[in-house]
Amino acid sequence: MPRSFTWEKVEPADWRSTIEELREKGFTFFDFLTGVDRENMDGKQACEVVAHLATKDLSDSHFISTQVLGELPSITDLIPAAQWHERECAEMFGIQFTGGSAKPLLRHENLGRPPLRKSTVLAARVLTPWPGGAEPEIKEDGRKVGNASRRRQRPPGVPENWRQP
Amino acid sequence: MTRYALTSDPSVSVEVVSASLACCTLELQAALNSGALIQVSEGGTGPSVIVIAGTVTDALVPSVLELIDSYPGTKVMSFGACATSGGPYWDSPPVSKGIDQFVEVAAYVAGCPPRPDAFIQAIQELSLNRAS
Amino acid sequence: MKHSFIALIEDKCTSCMLCVRECPAWCIHLDSHTVDVTEEGARRPKKVNVLDSFEIDYSLCMYCGVCIDVCPFDALAWDEHRALVTTNREDMLLGIEELGPSGSS
């Protein structure tokens, strides 16, 4: 069966109205809602929220996304099934869904920063010396031997501007 | 609590309690049902083992300790990397870095997940330790 | 092939550090130094890495096999004839000697 996919970016203010319109157009199957942290997207510390709606026979898919700076109106009154997704998105990405449930889904309350944000520092990765930081080369009379300086010195997944102990 | 004996040597038997916490539970079941062990209903003097299979989070520690305390005299086996040290979650704040911080561990089984043979080997070693 | 144990074939290791850097669990520790080797007819001496120590912390290892995959010299390999069970956690840190292949390949 041929499927069509549509991607649409909307402003946070149009988030609810777009979803409401889609639902009226027959996009009644709510698949998921989640966050995507594209760090420094357009120079802002925003987090993208994506929702996927489809028609009942799944022939037509609609993804809508919006850039959020902290708050987004909840859609649980339009789509009750979105509540789990919003709660997960809230605790994992630190987005507040106004008008939705504030109850955490998986995490205990007050457990620090949202874990799926790239700006969340895993302290263990700073405090643990990275074994890959060692070099096989030796220094002779203060001069580096071999290609030591060209080597990657940061552990994978650690941002460049992280403070070092 | 179920008693299992080695298929190859039925005189070696252990009572197994499984603390099922994460995916290693399935691996433990696979080991128990791999054919190398048979369930025995009676007798046997081998030790009792409580197998901590899976990731222990700080929030779960009290429940795990309560479970261990409810089986006095039972040896603790740390099954897999998570229970031993946090494993793949070594950098994750809510995960405890090894149950040996809270209880004495009689046997550590390496692996993520450990193979069934590793579990059988651990059972053999625990039984030998008791004999000696 | 069973994901049962990761063995080190010491002779093949060139201390290139690829496995150490790719390990997601940070469980490999490698120490090495360089020496000058002058080959016959060569104008200048060659720098050669010498492996001093190689350790895998099996309490952390997640058996993902990335180290085996990235090793350009096949110095690391699955060893299906071994499984590691210890009675204390310190014994899970294995060095060059203990990491050698079991032989029955």
| Residues near B54 by beta carbon (within 8 Å), at least 6 away in sequence | B19, B20, B21, B22, B23, B24, B25, B79, B80, B82, B83
ipTM of the complex: 0.86
How far apart, in whole angstroms, are the C-alpha atoms of residue C62 and residue C3?
Answer: 10
In a domain, residue C19? The reply is yes
The phi, psi pair for A61, rounded to 5°, reads -115, 140
Probe site for chain B from A108, A117, A127 (most B CB atoms < 10 A): A108
How far apart, in whole angstroms, are the C-alpha atoms of residue C8 and residue C53?
Answer: 11
How far apart, in whole angstroms, are the C-alpha atoms of residue B113 and residue C83?
Answer: 11
The residue assigned the tokens 């302290």 is: A123
User: CATH assignment of B2-131?
Assistant: 3.40.50.12280
The residue assigned the tokens 């991607």 is: A7
Of C16, C26, C33, the CB nearest to A138: C33
> Do the chains contact at B108 and C63, CB–CB below 8 Å?
no
pLDDT at B43: 65
pLDDT at A124: 81
Neighbours of chain A (3+ CB pairs under 8 A): B, C
The residue assigned the tokens 């292949």 is: C101
> What are the pLDDT digits (tens) for B75-124?
999 999 999 999 999 988 889 999 999 999 999 999 999 999 999 999 98
Probe site for chain B from C26, C58, C59, C82 (most B CB atoms < 10 A): C59
Domain count within chain C: 1
Give start and end residues of each alpha helix (H) in chain B. Answer: 24-32, 61-69, 81-85, 116-131
- Strand pairing partners for B37? B6
In a domain, residue C32? The reply is yes
In a domain, residue C104? The reply is no
The phi, psi pair for B73, rounded to 5°, reads 80, 0
Is the CB of A138 inside 8 Å of chain C's CB atoms? Answer: yes
User: Residue C30 is part of a domain; what is its CATH number?
Assistant: 3.30.70.3270
Of C15, C20, C49, the CB nearest to A132: C20
pLDDT at A42 over 70: no
In a domain, residue C1? The reply is no
Closest CA to C73 of C49, C102, C98: C49
Report which listed range, A141-155, B60-74, C37-51, is most confident.
B60-74
In a domain, residue C105? The reply is no
Domains along chain A with CATH numbers: 4-98 (3.30.460.80), 121-158 (no CATH)
In terms of DSSP bridges, do strands B107-109 and C85-86 run parallel, antiparallel, or are they unpaired? Answer: antiparallel
Q: What is the b/e burial string over A84-116, where b = at least 16 CB atoms within 10 angstroms of the residue's CB?
A: ebbbbbbbbbbbbbeebeeeeeebeeeeeebbb
Is the CB of C93 inside 8 Å of chain A's CB atoms? Answer: no
Separation in Å, CA of C90 to nearest CA in chain B: 10
Closest CA to B51 of B26, B74, B76: B76
> Do the chains contact at C85 and B125, CB–CB below 8 Å?
yes
Asked whether C29 and A141 are in contact (CB, 8 A), the reply is: no
Q: Lowest mean pLDDT: which of A76-80, A123-127, C10-14?
A: A123-127
pLDDT at C49: 86
Asked whether C81 and C4 are in contact (CB, 8 A), the reply is: yes
Residues of A (96-135) whose Cβ lies below 8 Å from B: 107-108, 111-112, 122-125, 128
Asked whether B87 and C67 are in contact (CB, 8 A), the reply is: no
- Strand pairing partners for B51? B18, B77
Separation in Å, CA of C46 to nearest CA in chain A: 10
User: Domain ranges in chain B?
Assistant: 2-131
> Do the chains contact at C21 and A135, CB–CB below 8 Å?
no
pLDDT band at A152 (very low <50, low <70, confident <90, very high): low
pLDDT band at C2 (very low <50, low <70, confident <90, very high): confident
Domain assignment of residue C83, given as a range: 6-99
The phi, psi pair for B83, rounded to 5°, reads -65, -30
Q: What is the b/e burial string over C82-95, where b = at least 16 CB atoms within 10 angstroms of the residue's CB?
A: bbbbbeebeebbbe
- What value, to the nearest 5°, has the Cα angle with vertex B55 and ends B5 and B103? 70
How far apart, in whole angstroms, are the C-alpha atoms of residue B88 and residue B126?
Answer: 26
In a domain, residue C57? The reply is yes
Separation in Å, CA of A122 to nearest CA in chain B: 6
